[in-house]
A and B are shown apart, each in its own frame.
Chain A
Amino acid sequence: MLSQFLQLTLAGVAQGCVYALVALGFVLIYKATETVNFAQGDLMMLGAFFALTASVILGWPYWATILFAIVVMALVGMLIERIVIRPVLGYPTFTVVMITIGVGYVLRGVVTMVPGWGTETHSLKTPFGDQVIRFGGAVLAVEQIATIGFTAALCLALYLFFRFARLGVAMQATSQNQLAAYYMGIPVQRVNMLIWGLAAAVAAFGGILLAPSAFVHSNMGFIGLKAFPAAVVGGFGSVPGAIVGGLIIGIVEALAGFYLPEGFKDIAAYVVVLVVLLFMPSGIFGETARKKV
C-alpha cells in the first residue's frame, strides 16, 4: 500500500517536472514581458522534434541531441520574439495572448507539413531504457528519477543564473520595471529576446524529458495546456511557484488517476486550478498588484 503510494507519487513528480519546465517557460516570459505564451507547449513539441531528428535521423548520442535541440530552440524562440512579439510590445495583454495562440497554430501546422515529421508518431530513446530500481517493494523507473534529477539540475542552474550572472540580474530588473530598467541602461528589447530564447530552450528540455513517456507527435504540445494550471497554481510570475505548481499538478493527477474513478485524471489539474483561484486569486506565490489612483 505504502510502496504503491510511493510509486505513484514518484511517477507524479516526474510528470510534474515536465509540467514545471513548461510552466517555468510561461513564467519567465510572463515576468519579463507580461505576455502569456500560449505557444509554450508547441515550442516544447518543436524541441522534441528537433531532438528526434538529431537522435534518429542523424544518429547523434543523447547528450548531443539535448544540446542540439536546446540551441536550435533558443534561436527559434528569439526569432519569434523578434518577428511577432516585438511589434506588439505595450499592447493589451489579451492581444498578445492571441498572437501567441496564432504562433502555436503556425508551429503545429508547420510540423505537420514537414515530410517524415508530422504524420507519424515517434518515440525517442534514452540511454536509461527500461531499467528499474527496487526500493522497499516499490518499483521506480530510472527514467523517472533521471527526469527529476535533470529538472533539479536545471532549476539550480537557473537560480544561479538569475542570482549571480549579470544578464540574469538584468532580466530580473526588466521584469520588475521595463521603463526603469531602460533608464538604467539595460537594452530591454534585447533582454526580452534573450528571455524568449531561454524560455524556448527550457521548453525544449521539457520536451526531451517528456518524449520517452509520451510519443512525439504534432499535438503533444497540448500537454502544455496542463502546464497552465501549474503556473497559475504557483502564481504566475513566480519561478519557485512554477516548480511547486507543476509538482502539485503532477502528483494530484497521478493520485487521482489511481484512487478516483475514470475521467478524473484528465480534469484533476483544472479542478485544482479552479479551487486554488477561488481562494487565492493570484496563486500560491503570486504577488497581488493594485492600481494606485
Chain B
Amino acid sequence: MRFIFKTDYNQDIRLFQHGGQVFWYGLLGVLLLAAPFLVSGYVLSQLHFICIYAIVGLGLMLLVGYTGQISLGHAAFLATGAYTEALLQAAGMPFFISLISAALFSAAVGIIVGLPALRLKGIYLAIATFAFNVIVEEIITRWESVTGGNSGKLLKAIEIFGYRLGSQESFYYLCLCLTVLSVLALINLLRSPTGRAFVAIRDSEVSASCMGINLARYKTMSFALSAGLTGIGGALYAHKVGFISPEQFTLIQSIELVTIVIIGGVGSLHGAVLGAAFIIMMPQGISIAKGWLPDTIPQAGLQSVVFGLILIGFIVFEPYGLYGRWLKIRTYFDVFPFYRRGTFRRQRNYLRSERLR
C-alpha cells in the first residue's frame, strides 16, 4: 500500500501523483509510439479507430460523466465535424485550419443544443438531444447541394505542410497525438475551477448554484467543449473511413457512443479510452467466437444480442465500468487482506425527491 503524504497544495493537482504512475504511463507511451513497428497493419487500423473513438468518448465523458448531462445525440456532432472537414478539405483548406474549424463549428452547434439543456432535465434532455440527432441526420440527407445527400462525400488523404499522410503509420501518429492532447487538455480542464464547477453541477445543481456557479454558463460550456472534441473525432473519422454518408451518423451510432462511456466507467477519463478500446474490439471478438457456433446464427443478430447483454451486464454487475473493475482489483491488492465487499457499494434512492437534482 502506497501512502502519499501531501505537504504542498501543488502536489494535489500534479499530473502524476507518484513515481509508479510516471513509470507505467511512460511504458504505455513508449509502447504506443512503437506500435507501428510491433503490430500488423490490421491491428494498426483498429488502433486508429480506438484513438478516434477515445477522443469522442472523452468529449462525451466530459458531458455525461463529469457534468451529468445526458446526450443521445452525439452522432450529430460527429457528423458536423466530419462534414465540415470534408467540405473544407474539398475547398482546399490546410488540414489544421479545417480541423480547428470542424471543432469550432461543432462547438457552435453544441451551444445551440445546450441552450434548451438549460431548462431541460434528465429524460427530457435525452429526448431533446435525440430529436436533434434525427433532425441533423435528415438535414444532411436532404441538403444534397452541400452534403451530397445519400451518395455521401469522399475524402482525400490528409496533407500537412505539403507532406501527404497517406500511410497507416503517419495517420496513426496523428490520431495518437490528438488523443494524448485531448487527454491532457481534459485533465487540465478538470483540475481547473471550470472542471470543478462541472463536477459540482453533476453532483447537485441546487448546491452548485448556491455556491455561485452560473449554471447556464457552465452547462453551455460543457456542451460546447464536448461537441468540439466530438467534432475533432468526427474529422478524423471522416479521414479514416474516407467516405461519409448520413447513415453513419444515426441514433444507433449515438447510443454506441454513450455505451463507450457506460462500459468504460462513468466519471473517469481512463474509462473513455478503455470503453473505446472495448467497443472497437468487441465485433472482432464476436466474429472469432462465432467460429465455434453453428452457421445458422446470423452475424447481425448475434452481435446485437451480445452488445445488449454486455451493456446490461455492465450496468447490473459493474456500474463503474471497466475502470471501476480495475480500481476494485487494485484496491483489493492494495489493502490485502482487508478488502470489504461494500467498499464501492452505490447508494440507492427510493424517494423521488432524492433523485431530483
Q: Which residues of A contact B (CB under 8 A)?
A: 30, 34, 36, 84, 87-95, 97-99, 101-113, 115, 118-119, 177-179, 225, 228-229, 232, 236, 262-263, 266-267, 269-271, 273-274, 277-278, 281-283, 289-293
28 inter-chain pairs at a CB distance below 8 angstroms, sorted by A residue, are A34-B352, A89-B348, A89-B350, A92-B355, A93-B123, A93-B355, A94-B70, A94-B122, A95-B315, A97-B126, A98-B259, A99-B316, A101-B311, A102-B311, A104-B308, A105-B304, A105-B307, A105-B308, A113-B298, A177-B351, A225-B251, A236-B123, A266-B134, A274-B131, A277-B128, A278-B116, A281-B121, A290-B356
Task: Tell me which residues across on chain A come within 8 A of B351, comparing CB atoms.
Answer: 177-179
List the A residue with the shortest CB-CB distance to B349: A90
Q: Which of B159-195 contact A (CB under 8 A)?
A: none
- Count contacts on B: residues with CB < 8 A to the other chain: 55
Task: Tell me which residues across on chain A come within 8 A of B206, comparing CB atoms.
Answer: 291, 293
Pairwise interchain contact A105-B315, C-beta atoms closer than 8 A: no
Given A93-B123, A109-B304, A274-B128, 7 further pairs, Cβ under 8 A: A102-B307, A104-B308, A232-B127, A267-B134, A274-B132, A283-B124, A290-B356
Pairwise interchain contact A109-B123, C-beta atoms closer than 8 A: no
Task: Tell me which residues across on chain A come within 8 A of B350, comparing CB atoms.
Answer: 89-90, 178-179
Pairwise interchain contact B355-A113, C-beta atoms closer than 8 A: no
Closest 9 CB pairs of A and B: A105-B308, A90-B348, A109-B304, A112-B301, A109-B305, A102-B311, A106-B308, A270-B131, A113-B301
Q: Is B309 an interface residue, CB under 8 A from the partner?
A: yes
Pairwise interchain contact B262-A98, C-beta atoms closer than 8 A: yes
Q: Which of B97-137 contact A (CB under 8 A)?
A: 116, 119-124, 126-128, 130-132, 134-135
List the A residue with the shortest CB-CB distance to B309: A106
**What total count of A-B pairs have CB within 8 Å?**
157
Q: Is the interface of B mostly helix, strand, loop or mixed?
A: helix
Pairwise interchain contact A99-B315, C-beta atoms closer than 8 A: yes
Q: Is B312 an interface residue, CB under 8 A from the partner?
A: yes
Task: Tell me which residues across on chain A come within 8 A of B14, comparing CB atoms.
Answer: none
Pairwise interchain contact B298-A263, C-beta atoms closer than 8 A: no
Q: Is the interface of A mostly helix, strand, loop or mixed?
A: helix
Task: Tell me which residues across on chain B come within 8 A of A113, comparing CB atoms.
Answer: 297-298, 301-302, 305
Picked from A91, A92, A112, A177, the residue with its CB within 8 Å of the CB of B304 is A112
Q: Is B346 an interface residue, CB under 8 A from the partner?
A: yes
Given A92-B355, A281-B119, A291-B356, verify A112-B300 contact (CB < 8 Å): yes
Closest CB of chain A to B222's CB: distance in Å? 15
Looking at B251, B262, B296, which has the most chain A CB atoms within 10 Å of its CB?
B262
Given A91-B348, A113-B298, verify A229-B131 contact (CB < 8 Å): yes
Task: Tell me which residues across on chain B come within 8 A of A104, comparing CB atoms.
Answer: 308
Q: Is B52 an interface residue, CB under 8 A from the partner?
A: no
Pairwise interchain contact A110-B305, C-beta atoms closer than 8 A: yes
Pairwise interchain contact A106-B312, C-beta atoms closer than 8 A: yes
Looking at A88, A105, A107, A266, which has the most chain B CB atoms within 10 Å of its CB?
A105
Task: Tell me which residues across on chain A come within 8 A of B311, comparing CB atoms.
Answer: 98-99, 101-102, 105
Q: Is B319 an interface residue, CB under 8 A from the partner?
A: yes
In angstroms, Cα B206 to Cα A179, docked, is 24
Looking at A225, A289, A291, which has the most chain B CB atoms within 10 Å of its CB?
A291
Task: Tell me which residues across on chain A come within 8 A of B126, comparing CB atoms.
Answer: 36, 94, 97
Task: Tell me which residues across on chain A come within 8 A of B309, comparing CB atoms.
Answer: 102, 106
In angstroms, Cα B309 to Cα A109, docked, is 10
Task: Tell me which residues across on chain B come within 8 A of A281, comparing CB atoms.
Answer: 119-121, 124
In angstroms, Cα B123 to Cα A131, docked, is 42
Pairwise interchain contact A274-B123, C-beta atoms closer than 8 A: no
Picked from A84, A90, A107, A263, the residue with its CB within 8 Å of the CB of B138 is A263
Q: Is B141 an interface residue, CB under 8 A from the partner?
A: yes
Q: Is B45 an interface residue, CB under 8 A from the partner?
A: no
Task: Tell me which residues across on chain A come within 8 A of B352, comparing CB atoms.
Answer: 34, 177-178, 289
In angstroms, Cα B255 to Cα A103, docked, is 13
Task: Tell me which residues across on chain B come within 8 A of A88, comparing CB atoms.
Answer: 315-316
Task: Tell me which residues across on chain A come within 8 A of B40, comparing CB atoms.
Answer: none
